[in-house]
Structure 1
Amino acid sequence: MQIVRAVPTNIITGFLGVGKSTAITYLLKHKPADEVWAVLVNEFGEIGVDGNLLGAGQEPGKVFIKEVPGGCMCCASGLPMQIALNMLLARSKPDRLLIEPTGLGHPAEVLASLSSEHYRGVLDIQHTLTLVDARKVTDSRYAQHDIFRQQLQVADVIVANKVDLYESDSIARLQDYLRDLSIASPLQVTSQGQIPFAWLLGRSGFQASLFSPPQPSSTETFTELQMPASGFISKRGQADGMHSCGWVFAPSYCFHYERLMSLMMGLQMERLKAIMHTNRGWMLFNQVDGVLTSSELNDAPDSRIECISSQPEDWSQLEMALQSLSC
């Protein structure tokens, strides 16, 4: 008789730019060598950048990545997430599953879906880790945001990331904020997303009855991007007071690195992430809190850039600027 074991499953959540993808990359690099892990990643934007980034450099057959771009993965009665998750489980047969909701996603809805009868005996829901930048609790745009609060309320472990950048009272302010919300989950601190494997272990304490039922969304189900003759495609989205636009360029596109950096540094975005083919090779660009960084990548299937803004933007003007940077 074949014994089927429920897959240990962790939610890694947190607001935009807190370092979720960095943390998952660290976990994948330090996972048990004999285990197969799967990652289901959701992005607020419509094109998906994180899947390419997380999959880079992973040993074939040991890590499987599946994306659900375009808003919260639990929207539309959870159908996009369920389809992607079922495909991922069937393909990878993992020893552990990590799920990264978008920074603007409702993790309670994701947990409620995963805890439903449909996945009973299939998934073993373990600790939900919520990453937080303790400096943000003094900013009302974060502290009063319903999603920011919910991400902390569902946590089994709260991880104060980027601790190396904090001021002396940052942790105390975070503790006061959590106390005001009556949140008593254990608080851990780290930098650069360095999460020990042990923090994943333990049964989830999520109780669906404590949270409101999911609200319907008009977000369209993601379909595979079809590259037109122009060699690039763009997709736009809007939800929870945020606006996004992303572009995918064919691998033949090559961008001038210095001019691309100059363009990105002039953009005032809540979040920017890109993997681009440049005259210096494949590069990763990452903008958080107004700080833009770049690093080298070995390879990527295409060039992708995703921008998220709290204000409506002239995306057409940005598109023309990107096209003008082709080598």
Structure 2
Amino acid sequence: MKIPVNLITGFLGVGKTTAIRHLLASKPQSERWAIIINEFGAVSIDHTAIEEKDGLTIREVAGGCICCTANVPMQYTLTTVLRQQKPDRILIEPTGMGHPENILDLLRGKFMKDILDVRATICLVDPRRWANADFRANETFQDQINLADVLIANKTDLAGEELTEEFKDWADSLYPPKLLIESISNGEIDFNWLSIEPFPDRKAQFSHEVPHHHHGHEEELPTPTVGNPVKKESHGLGLHGCGWIFSPDEIFNLPKLRQFFSNLKDVYRAKGVFRTGKDWVMINAVGGEFTVQYMAYRRDSRIELIAPTKLDWAFYEEKLNACLLEIPVA
């Protein structure tokens, strides 16, 4: 029996990880699921939002590799998951800047077609970003929508009813038509949407030849110590990023972190998980907005910043260090 697999796509900050967390609440207890997550930078953040437990395997593909033309890291990760975990269902979350076509080609290719049952590709869109002409002109953004079977307006509580309806009316005019167009808030995807059969002949409008971009994999990074965070830069897909990992013995001041995230004017996307005392929080920022949520993750503090141009990363590291309490708590 083939294993159902879905691609959950969408631009940076649209809420893909939140949607997957919501879907996991509907996972039948008897099933084994595997989640494969890809992020742009070398410092992975999204996996910290999902707690691995019995019946659930989380695997990361670092640095945007999932959408590279060669696709070797994705092939290796997928093959390993199939052999070792033998999942009943697979969900794949590519980086928000990644083109979905290479992944779909791999899933439907000769080595996987007899193993995997590729179900509907689900694309999340923030109507506020769609309303921005620069976003609509982005070729990856367009092809994420072109290749989607199910198109979902997310964050509609922030977008408002009028803009959400305008987006849905536009989506209704697309050809080939979408199999489902819906609107949600907080990533509340319906579990039943995963079972929708895909339309077989969706085509990308733009080239998906994406060369392997420059980054370092997290397994290559040293262990941070107090006063010596690990830093790693990356660039590709038209973006520049920098990530830091801090020792788990270092404690951040939450009000200062809030101030730091509220002043990221030149940073397009920022996400981090931080120890703030006995509690740990994830802070997620995009387009000048940020959210804070408490986390079960306890391994280390880490943050990734993404910008359209290379920034003075030393400046941001200085600002992060200023958010630390002077005396770390062991």
Same fold (TM over 0.5): yes
Aligned to 2:213: 218
Q: Which amino acid aligns with 1:178?
A: A
Q: Select 1:51's aligned residue among 28, 47, 53.
A: 47
What SS is found at the alignment partner of 1:117?
coil
Following the alignment from structure 1 to structure 2, what is the Cα–Cα distance between the partners of residues 221 and 302? 18
Q: Select 2:247's aligned residue among 234, 250, 257.
A: 250
Cα displacement (A) at 1:16: 0.8
Q: Which amino acid aligns with 2:109?
A: S
Aligned to 1:7: 3
Counterpart contact for 1:15–1:103, Cα < 8 Å: yes
Counterpart contact for 2:146–2:202, Cα < 8 Å: no
Following the alignment from structure 1 to structure 2, what is the Cα–Cα distance between the partners of residues 76 and 323? 38
Following the alignment from structure 1 to structure 2, what is the Cα–Cα distance between the partners of residues 90 and 177? 42
1:173-198: CA deviation from partner (whole Å, max 9, x where unpaired): 32454366535102111111111111
Following the alignment from structure 1 to structure 2, what is the Cα–Cα distance between the partners of residues 257 and 213? 41
Cα displacement (A) at 1:271: 1.3
Q: In 2 relative to 1, CA 89–77 (structure 1 residues): closer, same or farther, beyond 3 Å?
A: same
Counterpart contact for 2:43–2:304, Cα < 8 Å: yes
Aligned to 2:328: none
Aligned pairs for 1:143-154 (under 5 A) are 143-154=136-147
Following the alignment from structure 2 to structure 1, what is the Cα–Cα distance between the partners of residues 148 and 110? 22
Following the alignment from structure 1 to structure 2, what is the Cα–Cα distance between the partners of residues 109 and 13? 13
Aligned to 1:194: 188
1:16-38: CA deviation from partner (whole Å, max 9, x where unpaired): 11110000000012211211110
Aligned to 2:314: 316
Cα displacement (A) at 1:141: 1.6
Q: Select 2:259's aligned residue among 246, 258, 262.
A: 262
Counterpart contact for 2:33–2:57, Cα < 8 Å: yes
Q: Which amino acid aligns with 2:40?
A: F
Following the alignment from structure 2 to structure 1, what is the Cα–Cα distance between the partners of residues 119 and 228? 43
Counterpart contact for 1:257–1:279, Cα < 8 Å: no
Following the alignment from structure 1 to structure 2, what is the Cα–Cα distance between the partners of residues 300 and 88? 24
Counterpart contact for 2:143–2:204, Cα < 8 Å: no
Aligned to 2:285: 287
Cα displacement (A) at 1:322: 1.7
Counterpart contact for 1:76–1:218, Cα < 8 Å: no
Aligned to 2:31: 35
Cα displacement (A) at 1:249: 1.3
For structure 2, the residue ranges without an aligned partner over 5 or more in a row are: 326-330
Aligned pairs for 1:45-124 (under 5 A) are 45-55=41-51, 58=52, 60-124=53-117
Cα displacement (A) at 1:323: 2.3
Q: Select 1:205's aligned residue among 199, 204, 207.
A: 199
Cα displacement (A) at 1:204: 2.5
TM-score (norm 1): 0.91
Following the alignment from structure 2 to structure 1, what is the Cα–Cα distance between the partners of residues 204 and 305? 34
Following the alignment from structure 1 to structure 2, what is the Cα–Cα distance between the partners of residues 250 and 161? 35
Counterpart contact for 2:36–2:93, Cα < 8 Å: yes
Over the aligned positions, Cα root-mean-square deviation in angstroms equals: 2.1
Q: In 2 relative to 1, CA 220–286 (structure 1 residues): closer, same or farther, beyond 3 Å?
A: closer
Counterpart contact for 1:72–1:104, Cα < 8 Å: no
Counterpart contact for 1:72–1:106, Cα < 8 Å: no
Cα displacement (A) at 1:318: 1.0
Following the alignment from structure 1 to structure 2, what is the Cα–Cα distance between the partners of residues 33 and 44? 32
What SS is found at the alignment partner of 2:142?
helix
For structure 1, the residue ranges without an aligned partner over 5 or more in a row are: none
Q: In 2 relative to 1, CA 113–207 (structure 1 residues): closer, same or farther, beyond 3 Å?
A: farther
Tell me whether 1:16 sits opposite 2:12 in the alignment. yes
Tell me whether 1:170 sits opposite 2:163 in the alignment. yes
Q: In 2 relative to 1, CA 210–167 (structure 1 residues): closer, same or farther, beyond 3 Å?
A: closer
TM-score (norm 2): 0.90
Q: Which amino acid aligns with 1:285?
A: I
Q: In 2 relative to 1, CA 148–21 (structure 1 residues): closer, same or farther, beyond 3 Å?
A: same
User: How many matched pairs?
Assistant: 320
Following the alignment from structure 1 to structure 2, what is the Cα–Cα distance between the partners of residues 145 and 199? 27
1:266-291: CA deviation from partner (whole Å, max 9, x where unpaired): 11221111111123521111113211
Q: Which amino acid aligns with 2:211?
A: P
Mean alpha-carbon deviation: is it higher for 146-155 or for 29-38? 29-38
Following the alignment from structure 1 to structure 2, what is the Cα–Cα distance between the partners of residues 166 and 220? 34
